[in-house]
Structure 1
Amino acid sequence: MFEKLSKKLNLTQTELKISGFLILTLIVGILIKFIFGINEKTDLTFYNYAQIDSIFFSSDENDGNNSEIINKNVDYKQEVFDFNKQSFNNVYTKQLPAEKSINLNKATKQELMSLPGIGETTAKNIIELREKIGRFRKPEDLLKVKGIGSKKLDKIINYIFID
């Protein structure tokens, strides 16, 4: 029965069963509402919050200094920084080398790491490739290094040279 109906309605059997369950649940809910007479309308649109608010904003002076709390100016940025243990005064910025100052065939790992976008792993990969092929012939040879693409090569090409 489900198979024929699912082909006719172009639904899977699971979709058909779920739809049937939802329709059956809706019908049962409507029947229960009419049988038990739960059709009274209640006004839920208005609720008086004055009693609950009085807990927080008491007019009695002995309960606390609510006016001080309400009027307190807080520097929220400073409070966020107070929770952070990192010092923002000593921010590390990478010093870029001078143009055409790094010989790609003789550069150390630290010199290569001073290039923009080159970290420890990429510098190590450059040195390994240099040792493997003997020496670099042109800057485009760096494209063979894992972690260096054409965009990164464009960033570093002004700082390197090959002898």
Structure 2
Amino acid sequence: MIDKLSRKLNLTPTELKLSGFLIVSLIIGFILKFLLGVNEKTELSFYNYSQIDSIFLNEEKNDTNNSEILNKNVDYKREVFDFYERGFNKVYKKQLPAEKSINLNKATKEELMNLPGIGEKTAESIIEHRNKLSEFRKLEDLLNVKGIGSKKLDTIKKYLYIE
């Protein structure tokens, strides 16, 4: 019977059972409300905030610092930028080096950081790996450095040489 009804209403049997339960529950709730005479009405109460507002208004009149704070025009951009160490206006742009201008075995951290895709951590990793090896023998040795893959190596290879 449920299958036939669910096909006619285009619902799954579970949806049909759930809908039936909700309808039966709603009907039982209305019947109980009318039979038992439950007539619960809640009265709306309004709260008068004028007494609390007057406290703040009196404080504002008595305290000149409060009125200065309330009327202060704040340059929000400046306030936000002051918390940022580097500042948004001082964007660091990398100076790309000339081709074959960086000796991989003698490069400093700053020189390595000017390479595209190389940040501070990767530059430190390159130097650390160089110190372990004593020197790089070929550019492909960079693939053993954490943070450098074949794509990044292809990008920076034209700026590097080994002596």
TM normalised by structure 2 equals 0.52
- Name the amino acid aligned to 2:116: P
Question: Following TM superposition, by how much is the alpha carbon of 1:27 offset from its aligned partner in structure 2, in angstroms?
Answer: 1.8
Alignment of 1:43-82 (within 5 A): none
* Deviation digits for residues 78-117 of structure 1 (CA, Å, limit 9, x no counterpart): x996775376554321111111100111111111111111
- Name the amino acid aligned to 1:103: N
Correspondence for 1:28 = 25
Is the partner of 2:81 in helix, strand or coil? coil
Give the stretch that moved more between structures: 95-104 or 21-30. 21-30
Correspondence for 1:107 = 107
Match of 2:81 among 56, 79, 85: 85
- Name the amino acid aligned to 2:121: T
Question: Following TM superposition, by how much is the alpha carbon of 1:31 offset from its aligned partner in structure 2, in angstroms?
Answer: 3.7
- Rounded to whole Å, the distance in 1 between the matches of 2:131 and 2:26 is 78
Is the partner of 1:154 in helix, strand or coil? helix
Correspondence for 2:42 = none
Tell me, yes or no, if the aligned pair for 2:109 and 2:123 is still in contact at 8 Å. Answer: yes
Question: Following TM superposition, by how much is the alpha carbon of 1:159 offset from its aligned partner in structure 2, in angstroms?
Answer: 0.7
Number of equivalent positions = 107
Q: Which has the higher helix share?
A: 2
Is the partner of 1:94 in helix, strand or coil? coil
Q: Does 1:147 align with 2:144?
A: no
Per the alignment, do residues 22 and 140 of structure 1 end up closer, same or farther by CA in structure 2, a change over 3 Å counting? Answer: farther
Question: Following TM superposition, by how much is the alpha carbon of 1:34 offset from its aligned partner in structure 2, in angstroms?
Answer: 6.6
- Name the amino acid aligned to 2:81: K
Cα-Cα RMSD: 3.3
Q: Which runs of 5+ in 2 are unaligned?
A: 1-15, 35-74
Identity percentage of aligned residues:
55
Q: Which runs of 5+ in 1 are unaligned?
A: 1-18, 38-78
* Deviation digits for residues 43-95 of structure 1 (CA, Å, limit 9, x no counterpart): xxxxxxxxxxxxxxxxxxxxxxxxxxxxxxxxxxxx99677537655432111
